[in-house]
Amino acid sequence: MSPEPFDAVDVIRAKRDGGDVPEPALRWMVDAYTRGYVSDAQMASFAMAVFQRGMSREEIRVLTDAMIASGERLSFADLGKRTVDKHSTGGVGDKITLPLAPLVASFGVAVPQLSGRGLGHTGGTLDKLESIPGWRAALSNDEFFAQLAGEVGAVICAAGSGLAPADKKLYALRDVTGTVDAIPLIASSIMSKKIAEGTDALVLDVKFGSGAFMQRLEDARELAETMVALGTDSGVTTTALLTDMSTPLGLAIGNANEVRESVEILAGGGPADVRELTVALAREMLAASGQPDADVEAALDDGRAMDTWNAMIRAQGGDPSAALPTAPETHTVVAPTSGVVTRIEALPFGIGAWRLGAGRARAEDAVVFSAGIDLHAKPGDRVEAGQPLFTLSAEDAARFDRALEAVDGAWEIGDAAPERGSLVRERITA
């Protein structure tokens, strides 16, 4: 048996002391961790060193490439049409993938949307879709490619275990060691999977604000710039939008209720902010696919996007016309005074929905599809005393007290409407 060319302790010390890890040593560290030679304790120590000391752009590129090399790479070269994907860094009420994928696919572009599940206060796309009776997230490679190549053109499903297995192992470790929100680790985690996926183009929705992992705009910008550079260097046409996650997106926070709201968008209605962001991201994706003048809003209003949604859900075993789960228990909070809603903070409402059962504390926990929060007013809306502000839904009324604790102080009614900044704050390109 050949001796290992490097020592994990030396790699950890180099990063701990603020130095750059040489490329061969960094590639070895990822490979050795993937095959079990480097222990969880050692990789946790390295992740904490990265969290505290950061990484150079070159180190992030090498780390990302090493994680891609740990598994397989997909290719859509034989698909016969352009592919474009979108990734969101996550937020409260962020159901945009659901209307966005069929909307973009209705223009003849293939949308291979490999999505995940929620953990903590940010919801998972797959959890939302699994509230649709019969719908399944796990597809074989043959099913995946056939659905993209055919008339549907869009797939939202779970990523296979073969894509960037190093990232899957490292992410689980970061989640329990307080190193999730390190920009080099976030960027390499997201981009290793997206580059390995093999898409032609990628649009990133990088969020900032109280409900986002990157709460400061400057941090979100740094993350976006890092990811755009990684994608571009790998030959993937990559752009990013910086979007505000200070207030929940839309009116629904949960799973089944977010599906309902997504269907409203596909029917040409729904909350203005959800439609605005769906349209902005669709334009960005279609421009990256060679259709800069596509009339995105017309496809929402004339039923084309809805037709693709129905076909996509049926192709994965779901019944788009079936009734979605509803909760047996509800509790409505009403406005104590008349005035204007001046504030609804995203993070507390995300935590509130989580405590109602809409999220999970551990990866193996089940979510309650019918649990969540429905807002009846957003910042800037005028309300009268006694008018409903938001409704909590749960299978067990005993969950209401802790959810109400979470949102206590997270909303406000005043005399004047707050200034509303643009939902899409900046566009980042190479």
Parallel/antiparallel/unpaired status of strands 111-115 and 252-254: unpaired
The residue type found at 64 is T
Parallel/antiparallel/unpaired status of strands 201-208 and 329-334: unpaired
| CA 7 to centroid of chain Cα atoms | 36
87 labelled catalytic: yes
Strand, coil or helix: what is 133?
coil
Q: Distance (Å, rounded) from C-alpha 229 to C-alpha 370? A: 40
**Count of H-run helices and E-run strands, the chain:** 16, 13
Parallel/antiparallel/unpaired status of strands 201-208 and 237-244: parallel
Q: How many CB atoms lie within 10 A of CB 241?
A: 22
Instruction: Select which of 15, 82, 87, 275 is catalytic.
Output: 87
Instruction: Select which of 15, 174, 275, 355 is catalytic.
Output: 174
Q: Distance (Å, rounded) from C-alpha 205 to C-alpha 188? A: 16
DSSP class of residue 38? S
56 labelled catalytic: no
Where would I find the beta strands (DSSP E) of 194-288?
A: 201-208, 237-244, 252-254
189 labelled catalytic: yes
| Structural tokens at position 286 | 């279609």
| Structural tokens at position 25 | 């040593």
| Structural tokens at position 201 | 């183009």
Instruction: Select which of 106, 115, 189, 393 is catalytic.
Output: 189
* Cα–Cα–Cα angle for 273, 276, 277, rounded to 5 degrees: 90
193 labelled catalytic: yes
Closest Cα to residue 124, out of 348, 358, 393, 325? 358
Q: Distance (Å, rounded) from C-alpha 159 to C-alpha 113? A: 9
Please give the positions annotated as active site: 87, 167, 174, 189, 193
